[in-house]
Structure 1
Amino acid sequence: MSLDETLAVTTAQEDEEFLFAFKQDMISCVPLVLKATIELGILKLLSESSAQLSPIHIVSRLSIKNPDAAITINRILRLLASFSFLSCTLMQDKARRPKRTYRLGPLSKYYVSEQGASMAPWLLLLFDEVSLRTWYGKDNPIKLTNGAILFDYTGIDPRYNNHFNNAMKCMSTIFMGKFMVTYCEFENAKMVVNIGGGDGKCLKFIVSKHPHLQGINFDLPHVVKNGLSYPGLEHVGRSFVDDPIPKGDILLTNFTDEFGIQLLKKCWKALPVSGKVVIIDPVSPEYPGTDLVARATFTSDMVMLALPPGGKDRTLREVEVVAHAAGFSSPKVGCQVLNMWALELSRCRMNNYLELFTSRPFL
């Protein structure tokens, strides 16, 4: 009797419910395996090959010496094929044994882009040992380092700081490229300041699209020292906690509400009378829906819970509470790109614009 002829002893609904629950228990295998294929160079190799490759060919081209490597890699790649990261062709060799060859699948385009629009650095950050240990409370290396928060820790761990900066750059590339096509509020602006803007990738997108703009990338000194060089883009290395905010802002909202209010009040003072704040961030729905955007947002909120102390993804109502407490208007929805929203906060009437950004997922 073949597998297809096996007598079913459960209903289709039972199968679906149990297998969904089973997958949740095992789901961590998928990103960890994907991380391994990135670090081993397997995805890059497949992206550069015009032909499908067998595990034996992959082992040979990567010069892996372990005699069991082909068997292990085959098991890894068939998992990724089942999740559509790869595609697989099943054949038989001369001895009628199954032979599998692999190539990139539909989802792999998000992990091998040569233009920086890759989610691979984000995956490497989230599944780095330091990030994973933050889920275990007292063993959190970030908090154990003299009580440091995430941004302090990146300043003393160069390896982790590199992961963090690469992750921020890649997500800026993915989201900001699309926002620049949709969002037009920069046309009348003169100065844009990105608070917590990393190496300036996000701001570069803005000033390259609108050459009349001047941009200030405002972040910690150890972050901006390797900032991008681009006409109209200036880097300022200071603390957005202790130092005054330049005239024109980009807001990083993923902190406690109390800190968010303090930061917005600083921004209020830095804005012209007719200024505007624009926050780019996920917005959590009030009801925990099961659609892909809701799931992505609630999952993102768990990352915010684990990594930056006090971090959160807010609902529109929660953004409104923080905005009102700092003297701003209720948020106005500018546009949505994927699971990110542009929310506008106004001080007064809008004649001139000074833009304030949270280029999320900038933690």
Structure 2
Amino acid sequence: MEAVTELDEASLRGQADVWKYMLRFADSMALKSAVELRIPDIIHSHDHALTLSEITCSFDSASPSPDITCLSRIMRLLVRRNIFTAQPDGGDSGETLYGLTHSSRWLLHDSEFTLAPMVLMETNSTLMEPWHCFSQCVKQGTPCAFEKAHGRDIWQFFSEKPEFNRLFNDGMSCTAKITMKAMLTGYKGGFDNVATLVDVGGGTGSAVAEIVKLYPSIKGINFDLPHVVAIAPEYHGVSHVGGDMFDGGNIPNTDAIFMKWIMHDWSDNDCVKILKNCRKAIPERSGKVIIVDVVLEPNGDGMFDDTGLVFDLLMIAHASGGKERTESEWKKMLELAGFPRYKIIKIPALSSIIEAYPV
């Protein structure tokens, strides 16, 4: 009889898990609504916990009659998810005071380090459509769900839709700041003895500019497609060079190459091509490639290990053949590209640093 009870308990737990994962999108949508309503910003601007009435009084003029009951139900879930705190106001009204947590402080729009733009980007309905195409990707053998949902790849889509391009750039910019801060904090001595540094796929140059600011003796080169660097602002100690990382003769000669969140956008074959071209641009004995990207730990219990697996699915949703990689996958790819040695350096972020050496 006892065994049957245990079996029933396990079966019930299995059912509960299916419900939980089936409806997990509700967490994302509740989080999105809080960011759109700027609830973290409102609480932060008052510098103390607020009631729902006080929060809604700070909504913009386009919200003349907010539904406080609806908001309370959203906040109830977000409190359970530890996005906000909730406690009685201590008065006769019986109202609840809502405060910030370490999580909601990452949702402040005007903070130097914020994930609010990334929340709005990843929960946008257009960018969520590809997630519905995963089963087609499996059956038809083409991994890019974005093309199935929208008939073209994400880069072409963004070139045709300026509003989505801005949404994407805002999301990438906020995560880049967070990653760069973690890298410059955790990569002690990594740029010592580097006289020139090329940021391959560096966009408008903000990342290499941050490095040069901290290491002013480095000559920084921002390398990206000509139309990208054409609109790049001037940075002290940084020059912009237009070219194609798939063209072996384009990458400027340098002591070291830096690539942040580039490899995960491309297939293994494309990454090997890029890395081979990087190898040609650095010294045989003293050169190195510094890659900032996710190193998957499928069975890990680290703070970001679960998110890494989700990011890998994000690559199916949005990238053309991109993927996140385990250490063994990185090792194989680096060896094929002519980098027999590598070192993985953990930093306080979702990404790690992979130093690759040609000898």
TM alignment of 1:25-64, pairs within 5 A = 25-62=22-59, 63=61
> CA–CA distance in 1 between the matches of 2:102 and 2:8?
31
How many pairs does the alignment contain?
336
1:258-288, CA deviations, whole angstroms, 9 ceiling, x for partnerless residues? Answer: 1011111111111222311111111113x53
Query: Does the CA contact (< 8 Å) of 1:81 and 1:105 recur in 2?
Result: no
Q: Spell out the pairing of 1:255-266 with structure 2 (5 A cutoff).
A: 255-266=266-277
Counterpart position of 1:325: 336
Structure with more contact order per residue of length (Cα contacts < 8 Å, sep ≥ 6)? 1
Range 193-202 or range 251-260, more displaced: 193-202
Query: 245, 250, 258: which one pairs with 1:250?
Result: 258
SS in 1 for 2:95: strand
Cα distance change on mapping 1:202 and 1:16 into 2, 3 Å: farther
* Structure 2 portions without partners, runs of 5+: 1-6, 138-143
Q: Distance in 1 between matches of 2:348 and 2:89?
A: 41
Equivalent residue number for residue 155 of structure 2: 151
* Alignment partner, residue 133 of structure 1: 129
Q: What residue in structure 2 maps to residue 233 of structure 1?
A: 238
- Sequence identity percentage: 26
Q: Which residue of 2 aligns with 1:297?
A: 308
What SS does the aligned partner of 1:118 have? Answer: coil
Choose which of 275, 289, 305 in structure 2 pairs with 1:277.
289
In 2 relative to 1, CA 76–221 (structure 1 residues): closer, same or farther, beyond 3 Å?
A: farther
Deviations 1:228-252 (A, max 9, x none): 4321122334443458223343332
Q: Tell me which of 173, 179, 184 is aligned to 1:175.
A: 179
Q: Equivalents in 2 of 1:156, 1:166: separation in Å?
A: 17
Q: CA contact under 8 A between 1:116 and 1:169: conserved in structure 2?
A: no
Distance 1:208 1:190 in 2: 14
Give the Cα–Cα distance (whole angstroms) in 1 for the partners of residues 149 and 16 of structure 2: 41
Q: 1:151 to 1:284 in 2, by over 3 A?
A: same
The CA RMSD measured in Å over matched residues stands at 3.0
The residue type equivalent to 1:123 in the other structure is V
- How far the C-alpha of 1:337 sits from its partner, in A, is 2.9
TM-score (norm 1): 0.82
Contact 1:304-1:312 within 8 A present in 2 as well: yes
Equivalence for 1:4: none
Instruction: Verify the 8 A CA contact 1:154 1:161 in the aligned structure 2.
Output: yes
Aligned mates of 2:166, 2:79 — CA distance in 1: 30
- State the SS of the aligned residue for 2:53: helix
CA contact (8 A) 1:195 1:250 kept: yes
